[in-house]
Structure 1
């Protein structure tokens, strides 16, 4: 973030955070107006460190501030769990959302995948995080359980790596379709989503607006076939047709393409799309690329801190989700800067090992063949 954070590997990791813009927004939002000790900058560094080290509670985060190496980064010598809790609740999610989007723009500028098969693909999906009913009554979605739903739009950096481009958090009871307008809104992309987002009216709207998509069709969907196209006998495509979907009383106004093929597990699936210019095999591969978001959700849940929440208010929970996404984006930026062929998991492991070592040690390890 500034010249004092460049000596350690941790400092190198957080360097992409825009210090000037960050400071300006803190002042505009008056986030540190009554702060005497725990500044918003120190809060961000502490909680990013907690994400990286998978701290399970505020007391563990407070203990991290006792490290001599960390104290130099933070500008404070100690902090209490109650102060951390209060700050975590008071920081506005809008501020962390701006930091996240700034990192996304940096990733976008550093990414060059225009010739890639996955160029322009955007994957939309959600994951549910279960919560304690007594502590999170604002997120109730079952009689005995609360939960939140994290809706994401992912973009490919290259064939093997994705990054989150947009996030919306809702109570888990909200249907996925309620967030389609926020996540599917650009005409220069190809959106891929699962059958939880199937909405015939939206499909017609996408056609009218020039938005391309591919989705898995529900098994009980009513389909009227207009024309069938021939497919090679040795193809993974079982059928390729032009169809109208919906019942005679309520059906789509536009004509769509229906592809029957197999998913990554070998199960037979039907893919509905408004792309007629691509080969059916390409469309099958495009839909199977949706599995990348499942791997992404698995990655952040296993290696960052989303299961153990540091606060109970909606703001505190949303802040923690943004902190996890910011942590992930910082790792992607290091991978892009170093032009490393090492996996993100390996870069993450080395960072944890060399966290307070000189940044040159971590960088040298990443740059090795």
Structure 2
């Protein structure tokens, strides 16, 4: 019988099963549903993301409605209570580790950043996901509000989330930033919420370059002034000293006037050789991480959750990030210029991606194992 491979099966084929099963052995819980394997659990969570399921009932009904096809995916129909039990007990760290593995896989196909310098470029930011305090009492944020915070390091090669740490919303961004281990020689850009000169000194000692905004009340001393080209929008380029405890630290201050809005901005960096205009352009690129947060919240399921426990919520967040990586990987490989937003909509509407990647292959034999890989 001739039939097209489902969109969902195509996305699953991008997840190396050998890697998944190795991780499932490393993160095996003391107690978990014997009839609901880690793979089945992952398949159900990923389906909930790509299909836009709004509740546990929606997720189970959607999968069980296609019960005659589930064996092709290596899963079986599951009761709602079993799914809920797995969400509570199977450690979210398994999905977090899988996210890390898939980031490496996606990076191998990702386009390079827009800048010509060789340094790796990362953006660092955090975003709060609001939760109902009555349903998620473990995530108390304010008196009558709950939430979690996604601390994200974005790789500008392909605009991929490289590291995502999820904490309670009240956790300050700098506390997580200080735990990061960025590659030597890389550039990390972030907003003024991360202003901490002690951390800046640590970055300098680690060989990591920073680009950020200078606080309006910052105290510093200008020790050197460089000539600037006003036509580029750069208004000043100074070497400055700031106090860090009893010591001082030498940094670079770049003044810039946005030619479209007329707004004046002051940037701070420890990179002394890049052109001043490039420093300003690097900071503008920081908005890519804001676009990432907007996409995640609008297109994937991190506002309504399939369980109320901390483990269930974090499992769903990391599977949402995995779904993002799979969409990005498909975009890189298809080379047809679709935006991630449009691609996500096509997947949700159950449009067969096989027609987009290779239009001439409109049908394949469902019993041919060689066709289970979308891009083979």
Unaligned runs of 5+ in 1: 1-5
Q: Does 1:312 align with 2:308?
A: yes
Change (3 A) 1:181 1:348: same
Question: Residue deviations 1:47-78, cap 9 Å, x none?
Answer: 11111122111011111122226534455553
1:361 and 2:355 matched: yes
Report what 2:129 is aligned to: 129
TM-score between the two structures when normalised by the length of structure 2: 0.86
1:9 to 2:7 alignment: yes
Residue 65 and residue 354 in structure 1: after superposition, are their counterparts in 2 closer, same or farther (change >3 A)? closer
In 2: Cα distance, 1:154 partner to 1:185 partner: 12
Find the counterpart in structure 2 of residue 18 from structure 1: 16
SS of alignment partner, residue 211 of structure 2: strand
Decide whether aligned partners of structure 1 residues 246 and 232 sit closer, same or farther in structure 2, where only a CA change above 3 A counts.
Answer: same
Preserved CA contact (<8 Å) 1:139 1:171:
yes
Change (3 A) 1:252 1:205: farther
> Is residue 59 from structure 1 mapped to residue 54 from structure 2 by the alignment?
no
Instruction: State the distance in 2 between where 1:279 and 1:183 align.
Output: 27
Query: Is the CA contact 2:52–2:348 (under 8 Å) kept in the aligned structure 1?
Result: no
TM value normalised by structure 1: 0.88
How far off is 1:350 after superposition?
2.3
Runs of 4+ in structure 1 off by over 4 angstroms are 31-34, 73-77, 262-266
The question of whether the paired residues in 1 share the 8 Å contact of 2:240 and 2:250 is answered with yes
Structure-1 residue corresponding to 2:163: 166
Q: Distance in 2 between matches of 1:50 and 1:229?
A: 55
Q: How far apart, in 2, do the equivalents of 1:20 and 1:267 lie?
A: 52
1:256-310 deviations in whole A, cap 9, x for unaligned? 0011224686532211100110111000000110010011100110000111122
- Identify unmatched segments of 5+ residues in structure 2: 362-376
- Could you tell me how far apart the structure 1 residues matched to 2:185 and 2:160 are? 18
* Residues 201-225 of structure 1: per-residue CA shift (max 9 Å, x gap): 1112222221111111222111221
The answer (yes or no) to whether the contact 1:124–1:152 under 8 Å persists in 2 is yes
Query: Does the 8 Å contact 1:242/1:256 carry over to 2?
Result: yes
Counterpart secondary structure, 2:234:
coil
Question: Relative to 1, partners in 2 of residues 1:252 and 1:323: Cα closer, same or farther, differing over 3 Å?
Answer: farther
